[in-house]
Structure 1
Amino acid sequence: MKIVITGGAGFIGSNLVRALTEQPQVARLRVVDDLSTGHKANLADRDVEFFEGDIQDAALLDRAFHGADAVVHLAALPSVPRSLRDPLASHHANATGTLQVLEAARRAGGPHVIAASSSSVYGANPHLPKHEDLASAPMSPYAVTKLTTEAYLSAYHHSFDLPILPFRFFNVYGPGQQADHAYAAVISKWISATLAGQPVTIHGDGTQTRDFTYVGTVCDVLTDALLRRVVDPRPVNLAFGSRTSLLDLISEIETATGQHVAQENRDSRPGDVHHSQADGGRLRALFPAVKPLPFQEGIARSVRWFRSQNRAMPI
């Protein structure tokens, strides 16, 4: 089996590379990444073919996709705040980039395409838990780009019979998630700050909730989807229905690090959703064998990784 991963040098992508190299059914792995948010060092110990460049480069995609059985499309410009600062950049990378990936897949003969969307598409819809048939209500340009990703996937499935599977990711965290940039995710940022003896910044009162999903569990689902060639044009929540407040997250970090977490409160940010929780029914029906890692263990593993990397840096 030959698999291409766009964004494969990033946090989720490099974890997926490690998971797939352990599967005997996978004969060849190719990674496409422009290294704008990923790092080639993440792939240093793995047998992959690396294609450096932008997913909007059609010729590059044609070379990478040649002979592929499946494509996992993870390449994107992440972060709601980033999209607020530069909506056009997010659109080009996430929406136009997805269209380029789908066109390349069509030229390559129609490999199985699995792609990452986001829970942000639910946006201002207050219903909890979030099930996939809810009306979307994007609150940021980033969320719009991910909803566009889903729409293009569905259109290519129905128009060109392309086998697809869109996943809505919910706050993925775990080892390998960098904290040393402006758009770092909350768990990596807060663990890094705590280990460095720095306060964490809470935008709002800390009662906002998230459905945090461990990266290893995400990779288990993606691997199962690839090996069993799971196809579904409907979006699938890739989360299991947990609901953790930011204040609860601070308590878990204190337990895992054995350190007090100092806090600084600031105003809520535009585009931020207050509550997020997945309805995992569709996911469990499609992937009954996958079991989520308990949150406490995921935080403990993340803390151990940061300590092993000596990357406790002030934020």
Structure 2
Amino acid sequence: MGYETIRFPEGSTFLVTGSAGFIGSNLVEAILNLGYRVRGLDNFSTGKKENVDSLLVNPNYEFIEGDIRDLGTCMKACEGVDYVLHQAAWGSVPRSIEMPLLYEEINIKGTLHMMEAARQNGVKKFVYASSSSVYGDEPNLPKKEGKEGNVLSPYALTKMVDEEYGKLYTKLYGLDTYGLRYFNVFGRRQDPNGAYAAVIPKFIKQLLNNERPTINGDGKQSRDFTYIENVIEANLKACNASSEAAGQAYNIAYGGREFLIDIYNHLLNALGKDIQPVFGPDRKGDIKHSNADISKAQQMLGYEPEWSFERGIDSAIDWYKENLGYLEPV
């Protein structure tokens, strides 16, 4: 049942990289609420200072401003740490197509630095963010681990390489690594601003401001949208998983399938708006449909997501109504 009852040894310390970001800051908050010590690492390239500042009031939280591309920073961050939750990365398929070299530096080299620092510091578990994008052009639904196609973007390739390094670090060095293939995560603190913003927060913000959102393609593409609470559960359960489950990657989703045009109409109804969208071209490198088979994570990690899309989207809408000003660019 969820993650509120998960327990770790007293005095356990977690390192969350990308801790000023959407997923990272939610992980920090959840672990602090469970009563454990957390160290955060972020360079604010995509994260927000207010996500850190709002949590620093907790005496169990320590923050390091630094870059995972620097091995020395990673070594320092891993000192005395039991569990690493590695979320630091650059997302966005379209941006990776524009900036492949930067994605190589951050998502591959930075992740390798973190694994090596975790190994040298005797970390118990290394849990890292992968992505459903590794399935590439594999057409069959639901997506199942072990049945991947050709990747369609530099971003997807970086995540596939991370998974291969994860396998090697478990096999060669005995570092328990767990790759979490996130499927379209959404929820509180997800940034609605910028050209590469995720679709749900972007739509919510635009509709609240009475603007016409652009839907890329015909709106009939589908995704397994996954609420942030399910992702927190997966990370913490991976930290408690057996070593037999290490060195592998797992689908982390709700196991549902939502069509983009249906989500748009749900948002219209929930917000009491009547605004027609603009239909634009398909996004380069995007897959048409995505839906996860989560049975492996259920079996190996004990993952049992409690937050359906409907429950999550209503919670997210409430949060954005209250906090949209908090997310405005300075």
Question: Which runs of 5 or more residues in structure 2 are unaligned?
Answer: 1-11
Would you say the 8 A contact 2:224–2:290 is kept in 1? yes
User: TM-score scaled to structure 1, two decimals?
Assistant: 0.95
Would you say the 8 A contact 2:241–2:300 is kept in 1? no
Q: Does 1:13 align with 2:24?
A: yes
For 2:230, the equivalent position in structure 1 comes to 217
For 1:44, the equivalent position in structure 2 comes to 53
Deviation string 1:106-160 (CA, Å, 9 cap, x unpaired) is: 2212431000000001011101100001033210110000101101111111111
User: TM-score scaled to structure 2, two decimals?
Assistant: 0.91
Q: Which amino acid aligns with 2:163?
A: E
Q: Does 1:226 align with 2:239?
A: yes
Deviation string 1:71-107 (CA, Å, 9 cap, x unpaired) is: 0110001100110111111111101111111111122
Paired residue secondary structure (2:26): helix
- How many residues align? The count is 312
Q: Does 1:35 align with 2:76?
A: no
Deviation string 1:195-252 (CA, Å, 9 cap, x unpaired) is: 1101111111110000000001111221232245674212100013211110111121
**Percent identity between the aligned chains?**
39
- Counterpart mapping for 1:117-136 below 5 A: 117-136=130-149
Q: Which amino acid aligns with 1:269?
A: R
Deviation string 1:255-275 (CA, Å, 9 cap, x unpaired) is: 221212421111112101000
Q: Does 1:3 align with 2:17?
A: no
Q: Does 1:181 align with 2:190?
A: no
- Counterpart mapping for 1:278-293 below 5 A: 278-288=292-302, 290-293=304-307
Q: In 2, distance between residues paired with 1:288 and 1:32? A: 28
Paired residue secondary structure (2:33): coil
Q: In 2, distance between residues paired with 1:294 and 1:110? A: 33
C-alpha displacement at 1:287, in angstroms?
4.2
Q: Does 1:81 align with 2:94?
A: yes
Out of 104, 120, 140, which is 1:107 matched to? 120
Would you say the 8 A contact 1:210–1:275 is kept in 2? yes
Would you say the 8 A contact 1:4–1:71 is kept in 2? yes
Q: In 2, distance between residues paired with 1:45 and 1:77? A: 23
Question: Which runs of 5 or more residues in structure 1 are unaligned?
Answer: none
Q: Which amino acid aligns with 1:198?
A: E
C-alpha displacement at 1:298, in angstroms?
1.2
RMSD: 1.7
Would you say the 8 A contact 1:132–1:237 is kept in 2? yes
Deviation string 1:45-86 (CA, Å, 9 cap, x unpaired) is: 323211111101111111110011010110001100110111
